[in-house]
Amino acid sequence: MQDIKVFIDHVGHTIVGEVLESKGSTLKVKNPAILIAQPNSNGQLSVQLVPLFFKEFIQLDKREAGSVFDYPSDRIVKSEIALEGRLIEQYVNMFQVAKKEEKKEAPTIKLFDE
């Protein structure tokens, strides 16, 4: 099982990501995503996860490894919050879907009748 944690970075972003290791002064996080909560038209909060770094910017042969960032421990606020299952599912699916899409071929679109 992935070790998915939430923490606050040095500029106040709420980050969700898979912690690969937490040694000494560094937290190594794979595929970090920014959690954005904003009110919708009904006055309720909608929650979105946005990748910190988009897979499209990574070389094709290295995309499956994902993006890994090192966060200095003295510049983040760690937590022991147990994330709700639906949020974890959204996070996991966001990166799994990306892997599946890479293997799909785009359909051919015919612009003119033959």
Please, which residues bridge with residue 37 across strands?
A: 47
Report yes or no: 52 and 69 within 8 Å, Cβ to Cβ: yes
Q: What is residue 51's predicted lDDT score, i.e. its pLDDT?
A: 96
Q: How much is the pTM?
A: 0.79
Report yes or no: 58 and 64 within 8 Å, Cβ to Cβ: no
Q: What is residue 97's predicted lDDT score, i.e. its pLDDT?
A: 44
> What is the domain partition of the chain in residue ranges?
4-103
4-103: what fold?
Answer: SH3 type barrels. (2.30.30)
Q: How far apart are the C-alpha atoms of 46 and 94, rounded to whole Å?
A: 16
- Minimal CA–CA distance to 7: which of 23, 24, 28? 28
pLDDT in tens, 85-96: 999 999 999 887
Mean pLDDT taken over the chain: 86
Please, which residues bridge with residue 1 across strands?
A: none
